[in-house]
Amino acid sequence: MHLGLIAMTSAPDELVSVLAHELSHITQRHIARSMSANSRASTLGLAAMLLGLVVASRTSNADAAQAAVVGGQAAMAQAQLNFSRDMEREADRTGLALMTGAGFAPAGMPAMFDKLDSASRLNDSGGFPYLRSHPLTIDRIGEARQIVQASGAAGGVPTAPLLHALMQARARVLMGTTTQTLRK
């Protein structure tokens, strides 16, 4: 957690949604599962490279051998990206259940995704979703909203209690370096 995250959120439910998502990566053992998946993918990649070497030694077609090697590497990279996106979706769902169970408004998660989408709108056209380690933010917003609606929980915008508003203002002041920021 850092000052920028506190300053960006306008309600405790939004802040908690980020923390619940990240805690879910831990409770679901995503790092250990990723290491295991990477080990399997490395074995497949090595097999593809060996196949490429065998093809290269048996034929005079270097392009076929190179295609086998590059194809194996591409398949390995795509498998890692697919696994990473699946872990992100799992952390979203598990985090949403965690924060709801702790008494926070589940609407905080789609609201936070909306903020992330707005913040990255200039830098992200949404292209090439199959090359991303995370699902598209718009897809995450939609899934979070569907889960909130299906649960029957109250939707809408999370409310900002005074304590969170004070924390947000303090974070903005501490992040600022100008006298004008301190005066605000």
Residues designated as active site? 22, 92
The one-character DSSP state at 134 is S
- Interatomic CA distance for residues 31 and 159, integer angstroms: 34
26: left (phi over 0), alpha (psi -120 to 50) or beta: alpha
- Interatomic CA distance for residues 61 and 79, integer angstroms: 28
- What is the distance in angstroms between the CA of the first residue and the CA of the last residue of the chain? 23
- Taking residue 157's Cβ as centre, other Cβ atoms within 10 Å add up to 15
Q: Which two tokens stand for residue 183?
A: 């005066």
Handedness of CA 143, 18, 36, 133 (dihedral sign): positive
Please name the amino acid found at residue 19: L
Q: Which two tokens stand for residue 45?
A: 């990649």
